[in-house]
Amino acid sequence: EADIYQTPRYLVIGTGKKITLECSQTMGHDKMYWYQQDPGMELHLIHYSYGVNSTEKGDLSSESTVSRIRTEHFPLTLESARPSHTSQYLCASSESAGGRTDTQYFGPGTRLTVL
């Protein structure tokens, strides 16, 4: 079934650890996005990709990095986690639709807590 997956769903780690949040989609979409969302607050775009080997930083500055080696996979990495990284991270994907903006499909999210 076509879907967008995120693992882990919940992660509690200590300060200084390196972590990778996984995001995969089987929808055949070329565009993928990472958003950060604090509870009850708006979503902020932190990274996006329009295709393989294409990555861009979003509107919100983030210490994380991303890679896009395969179309379906868009992992996000924090080299050294800090308590300020505690948040929910949402992955999304969309397909190109000519000049029209694409609908974004969201994954279930990863709730990260850094102690």
Partner 1 sequence: AQRVTQPEKLLSVFKGAPVELKCNYSYSGSPELFWYVQYSRQRLQLLLRHISRESIKGFTADLNKGETSFHLKKPFAQEEDSAMYYCALSGHNYGQNFVFGPGTRLSVLP
Q: Footprint of partner 1 on this chain (CB under 8 A)?
A: 33, 35, 40-45, 48, 56, 58-59, 90, 99-109
Question: Minimal distance in Å, beta carbon 75 to partner 1?
Answer: 19
DSSP string, 83-106: GGG-EEEEEEEE--BTTBPPPPEE
Strand pairing report for 19-25 and 76-78: antiparallel
Question: Minimal distance in Å, beta carbon 93 to partner 1?
Answer: 12
Which of 5/13 has CB closer to partner 1?
5
Question: Minimal distance in Å, beta carbon 35 to partner 1?
Answer: 8
User: How far apart are the C-alpha atoms of 37 and 35, rounded to whole Å?
Assistant: 6
